[in-house]
């Protein structure tokens, strides 16, 4: 399995081709991006059957203690996608913990000047929980109740 999977050249999700199945799906809304920390989070959001846009996998969250800064994450590529791909909304779907919240605040600060709507998934997930362990209904409600990120 490890030999057959590759990282998507657009969203950094795991797939079998240069483009993952989600980026290659023309039925998806290309104007809405859901930003997650990890490919496992894509799977968790997909299970909720509430999101029909595309994804961007950061590869982690901001955590100075663990050496995760803006250079270690796929933030530059996210900014390029927003500028060039006519993105209308970015849903920040990072984990509801200190690192995820810090990442959401940073992303809001750098994305809003680009004229894109930046939202954050609503509460419904317990603070400190990881998205990959959330049930489909809770995660679906959190996506439906997303709100603008305040800076």
pLDDT band, very low/low/confident/very high, at 122 (cuts 50, 70, 90): confident
Of 97, 109, 100, 123, which is closest to residue 35 (Cα–Cα)?
A: 100
Q: How many domains does the chain have?
A: 1
Residue where the block lists tokens 């290659």: 24
- pLDDT tens digits for 77-108? 999 999 999 999 999 999 988 899 999 999 99
The pLDDT, as a whole number, for residue 86 is 92
CATH assignment at residue 32: 3.40.1360.10
- pLDDT tens digits for 29-45? 999 999 999 999 999 99
Q: Do the Cβ atoms of 48 and 39 come closer than 8 Å?
A: no
Query: From CA 74, how far away is CA 79, in angstroms rounded?
Result: 9
Q: Do the Cβ atoms of 24 and 44 come closer than 8 Å?
A: no
Q: Is 113 helix (H, G, I), strand (E, B) or coil?
A: helix
Q: Containing domain of residue 83, as a range?
A: 27-148
Q: For residue 1, tell me if it sits in a domain.
A: no
């Amino acid at each position: 399995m490890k030999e057959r999977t590759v990282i998507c050249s657009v969203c950094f999700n795991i797939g079998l081709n240069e483009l993952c199945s989600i980026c290659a799906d023309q039925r998806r809304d290309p104007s809405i991006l859901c930003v997650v920390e990890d490919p496992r989070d894509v799977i968790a959001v997909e299970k909720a059957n509430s999101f029909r846009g595309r994804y961007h996998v950061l590869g982690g969250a901001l955590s100075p203690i663990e050496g995760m800064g803006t250079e270690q994450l796929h933030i530059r590529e996210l900014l390029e996608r927003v500028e060039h791909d006519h993105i209308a909304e970015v849903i920040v779907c990072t984990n509801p913990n200190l690192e995820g919240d810090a990442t959401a605040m940073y992303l809001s600060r750098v994305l809003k000047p680009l004229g894109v709507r930046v939202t954050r998934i609503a509460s419904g997930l317990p603070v400190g929980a990881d998205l990959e362990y959330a049930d489909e209904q809770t995660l679906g409600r959190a996506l439906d109740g997303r709100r603008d990120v305040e800076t």
